[in-house]
Structure 1
Amino acid sequence: MILINYLIMCLVFGTTFLAIKIGIDAGAPPFFSAGLRFLLAGSILMLYMVVRRKARFSLLLHKEMLLTGAGLTFGVFATLYWAEQYLSSGIAAILSATAPLMILLLQTVIARQRLSLSSLAGCLTGTVGVVLLLLPGLTVTYSRIWVLGCAAVLLGQVFYSAGAVYSRRVVQRFQDTSPIALNAAQMMYGGGMLLVLSLFTEEIHMGAVLAPNAILSLLYLIIAGSMTGHTIFYWLIAKTNPVFPSTWLYISPLIALCLGAVLYDEPVSVLSVVGGITIIIGIVVVNLNNLRSFVFKSKHAGKEIRKTI
């Protein structure tokens, strides 16, 4: 079940960078679009959980929901949506792939967890793979606003990393609460903060907001990106650790490359293939300890079954 959900999450998140770009290019204000996306997605999920009596609105009164929303939603997507006005979705994906490494460093410094050499090597390998994957198709015009856009995405990954590490504690504290409800609550807070930011920084033109591409982008990001992808992400954090779910950031450029080749006849170079293989190797190395533990538990369970028989 963990592997299936992980693959679904990778597929969904692998398309969100392009979906964001499509909406922004259609003229939708970035902060307003991001805020509307997460507030609506979070509200729908929360209402669904309350109706099914698996959550209460009182969950929103806990400061942990506000802090998680500030990290996983507000800080990440305020910077990403703004930056994609000036960056390609491919470059944004590359810069976002630094998050697993940042998570490992934060766990070492803040959570006082020991950083294994295999995890560090895996993150570095995956990062190299992402660069190799998209290097043939990258065309960069160096300018001040481009540099600021890159810096904004990297800043967003600091928020993302802090939110991912902190959310692990939140999940442990609210063990009796569904990860879906926790995800909904943090999205509501993050979306609300994004809308407040939009109120003070953007002019909203309904013609641009209601443009067909902007509407399609928003609907896809609400249903697939937020309600599905982020819920699975939160569930995986609860079942594994903050690093494993975040390795989707290595898969997303690979998915974008494959979709481009299949749907738009975009060329695939040898360097891109090498980059894709490097990404997979990086993911395996990052999760080497988890894989060993899984294999050991499987063997142990098999022995116990044979003894019972």
Structure 2
Amino acid sequence: MIVIGYMLVCLVFGTTFLAIKVGMDAAAPPFFSAGMRFFIAGLILFLWSVWRGKASFKLLMHKEMLINGALLTFGTFSTLYWAEQYVASGVAAILSATGPLMILLLQVIVMKQRSSRRAVLGCLIGFTGVILLVLPSASIVASMLAIIGCIAILVGELAYSSGALYAQNVIQRHRDSSPIALNAVQMIYGGLLLFVLSGLTEHVHVDVVFTREAVGSLLYLTIVGSMVGHSLFYWLVAKTNPVFPSTWLYVSPPIALLVGVLFYQEPFTWVMGLGVVTIITGTVIVNWESLRQLDRRGKKRREISLLADRLSNS
């Protein structure tokens, strides 16, 4: 289940950068669009969790839910949505790939945790692969807004990395609550913060918000990107560690590249192919220990299953 969940996260998140770009190119207000996406998705998932008895309304009263929403949703996506008005989606994917590296740096520098050289090397290799993959086709406009946008995405990734680490503690404190419910509450708070920012900085016009492109982008990002993708990500953090799920950021550019080649006739060069191989290599190196543990668990389950079959046949 962990491997399947990871593959789905990579597939879903690999398409969200382009979906955000479609909405921003349709002149949808970035903070309001992001707020709608996360508040609606979070509210639906939370009410569903309450209905199934997996959460209670008391969960909304915990301050760590607000902190988590401020980091994982508000901090990450306020900057990303705003930046994609001026930065190409491919460039945004490159910069977002700094997430796992920032997590490792925070663990080593701030939290004083030891990290293996293999994990650090894997992150560096993976990030190099992202550059090789996307850079040949990314059009970077040397304008001040583009530069500020790139910086904004990096700031957002720092918030994302802090949130991923903090989420691990939140999950431990609320073991009785479903990871999906925890994710839903932080999306609700993140969406509310985005609405506040939108009210202070944006003028929302109905005719712009409800264009075909803007509505299509919002529906896809709300249902597939947030309700499915972020719930799976939160579940993976609970089942593994903060670094393993975050390596989807290395796999998303190949997915975006494939979509571009198949549906938009975008070019594919040998440099991009080298980038794909490098990304996969870096991802495997980062997750080497986790993959070995999964392999051992799989072998153990198969041994138990074989033993049970022998006992039942004897």
Indicate the TM-score class for this superposition, using the shorter chain for normalisation: over 0.9
Q: Which residue of 1 aligns with 2:266?
A: 266
Give distance in 2, aligned partners of 1:66 and 1:306: 47
Structure 1: 5+ residue runs without aligned partners? none
Q: Which residue of 1 aligns with 2:60?
A: 60
SS in 2 for 1:149: helix
Which deviations, in whole Å up to 9, do the C-alpha atoms of 1:157-176 show, x marking residues without a partner? 00000000000111111111
Give distance in 2, aligned partners of 1:298 and 1:47: 35
Which deviations, in whole Å up to 9, do the C-alpha atoms of 1:84-132 show, x marking residues without a partner? 0100000000000000000011122333321110100000000000000
Give distance in 2, aligned partners of 1:214 and 1:102: 32
Q: Which residue of 1 aligns with 2:185?
A: 185
Give distance in 2, aligned partners of 1:307 and 1:164: 39
- Answer whether contact 2:88 2:139 (CA < 8 A) is retained: no
Give distance in 2, aligned partners of 1:216 and 1:116: 43
Give distance in 2, aligned partners of 1:304 and 1:188: 42
- Answer whether contact 1:247 1:283 (CA < 8 A) is retained: yes
Give distance in 2, aligned partners of 1:197 and 1:306: 58
Q: Which residue of 2 aligns with 1:83?
A: 83
Give distance in 1, aligned partners of 2:138 and 2:306: 55
- Answer whether contact 2:37 2:221 (CA < 8 A) is retained: yes
Q: Which residue of 2 aligns with 1:255?
A: 255
| 1:204 to partner: Cα distance | 0.7
| 1:177 to partner: Cα distance | 0.5
| 1:296 to partner: Cα distance | 3.7
Give distance in 2, aligned partners of 1:65 and 1:277: 38
Q: How many percent identity over aligned positions?
A: 57
Which of 72-81 and 99-108 deviates more?
A: 99-108
Alignment of structure 1 residues 1-309 onto 2, 5 Å: 1-299=1-299
Give distance in 1, aligned partners of 2:92 and 2:23: 15
- Answer whether contact 1:105 1:115 (CA < 8 A) is retained: no
Aligned length: 309
Give distance in 2, aligned partners of 1:298 and 1:82: 43
Length-normalised TM-score, structure 1:
0.96
Give distance in 2, aligned partners of 1:143 and 1:299: 54
Cα 1:181/1:306, change in 2 over 3 Å: closer
| Aligned-CA RMSD value | 1.5
Give distance in 2, aligned partners of 1:301 and 1:92: 41
Partner amino acid for 1:98? T
Which of 119-128 and 102-111 deviates more?
A: 102-111
| 1:180 to partner: Cα distance | 0.6
| 1:300 to partner: Cα distance | 5.2
Cα 1:206/1:285, change in 2 over 3 Å: same
Cα 1:19/1:301, change in 2 over 3 Å: closer
Partner amino acid for 1:116? S
SS in 2 for 1:36: helix
Length-normalised TM-score, structure 2:
0.95
| 1:267 to partner: Cα distance | 2.0
Structure 2: 5+ residue runs without aligned partners? none
- Answer whether contact 1:29 1:204 (CA < 8 A) is retained: yes
